[in-house]
Amino acid sequence: MIRKPAVAGLFYDKNPSELKKTIEWCFNHKLGPGKVPELGISDDDPNKDNIYGAVVPHAGYSYSGPIAAHAYCEIVENGFPETFIILCPNHTGLGTGISIFKEGIWSTPLGNIEVDEEFAEEMIINSDLIDSDTSAHIREHSCEVHLPFLQYFSNDFKIVPIVIWMQDMESGSDIANSITKTAKKLGRSILMIASTDLTHYESKQIAEKKDKLILDAISNMDEHSLLKAVEDFRISMCGYGPTIAVIKASRSLGAKKGKILKYATSGDISGDLSSVVGYCSAIFD
């Protein structure tokens, strides 16, 4: 199966050359890292901090691209793994509680990427909740938007896309355990991406206050504090489930700390501070 782009021309350019220019704009933007990184070599140097997971926003590139570029700058310089596990929330309501895209190819304007079929199949075996389901992925943007950022530097990697509707601690634990068991069994080098935006459509002042609770939880790799903040303060973070799963799996695989790379809101780009969406880039290493 070939999964064709759902949001090319909407969230990012559908013309390959224009898309590359936009990605470069994201890296060089005043809210971005200020440089286009060079792809490093992934190795087993014991003195090198290995990136196990990342938190990355998924809005249109003109809004969240510069913030997302901070995470990708670190990922690129660290060197690509064999497989990226991309966990995202379900915005469409399609599919099952936890839907994995088990086999096939994902197409973007920058080329095709293979799904890591072996990893996906093993994840289903190691889980009580994950289903093989493509319907949740067909119109979902929150995995797709990450791919061109990676493809700008290389197409030499595979992906395991997972759409999560059931965002709770039990589901996050099940996913994390499955990823950990599968990675260890297959000996696969992986990097997990939790695709999420933070507070939606509140004033910048309120969004920053709420999002500070999320940023602290991410920094401390404290999934319980994150979920409590979301529930107690009704924070409209769309991908808290993916973030919980990535924190837990990163810790199981060896991550010692979380690091916030950049936080900003849509208002910092648009100038409209009355109704913003919060974005952050973070890594777990």
pLDDT digits over 63-79, tens only?
A: 999 999 999 999 999 99
Query: pLDDT (tens digit, 9 = 90+) per residue, 217-241?
Result: 999 999 999 999 999 999 999 999 9
pLDDT band at 191 (very low <50, low <70, confident <90, very high): very high
What's the average model confidence in pLDDT over 41-59? 83
Mean pLDDT of the chain: 97
Q: Rounded to whole angstroms, how far apart are CA atoms 148 and 183?
A: 24
Percentage above 90 pLDDT, the chain: 96
Q: What is the pTM of this model?
A: 0.97
Cα angle for residues 191, 192, 194 (degrees, 5° grid): 150
Percent of the chain whose predicted confidence (pLDDT) is above 70? 98
Q: Which residue has the higher pLDDT, 21 or 41?
A: 21
Are 63 and 201 in contact by the 8 Å Cβ rule? The answer is: no
Pick the closest to residue 54 from 264, 252, 259 (CA basis).
259
In 3D space, the residue among 56, 251, 258, 219 whose CA is nearest the CA of residue 147 turns out to be 56
Q: Is the pLDDT of residue 279 over 60?
A: yes
In this prediction, residue 36 has a pLDDT band, given cuts at 50, 70 and 90, of very high
In the numeric block, which tokens belong to residue 266? 């849509």
Token reading at 24: 């470069």
Least confident of 29-43, 86-100, 159-173, 259-273: 29-43
113 SS3 class: strand
Interstrand relation of 158-164 and 83-89 (parallel, antiparallel or unpaired): parallel
SS3 of 131, please?
strand
Q: Is 37 helix (H, G, I), strand (E, B) or coil?
A: coil
* Residue closest to 198 by CA, chosen among 218, 175, 178: 218
Least confident of 48-52, 208-212, 237-241, 281-285: 48-52
Element (H, E) at 153: none
pLDDT band at residue 108 using 50, 70 and 90 as cut-offs: very high
pLDDT, tens only, 125-160: 999 999 999 999 999 999 999 999 999 999 999 999
pLDDT value at 47 more than 60:
no
pLDDT, position 41: 84
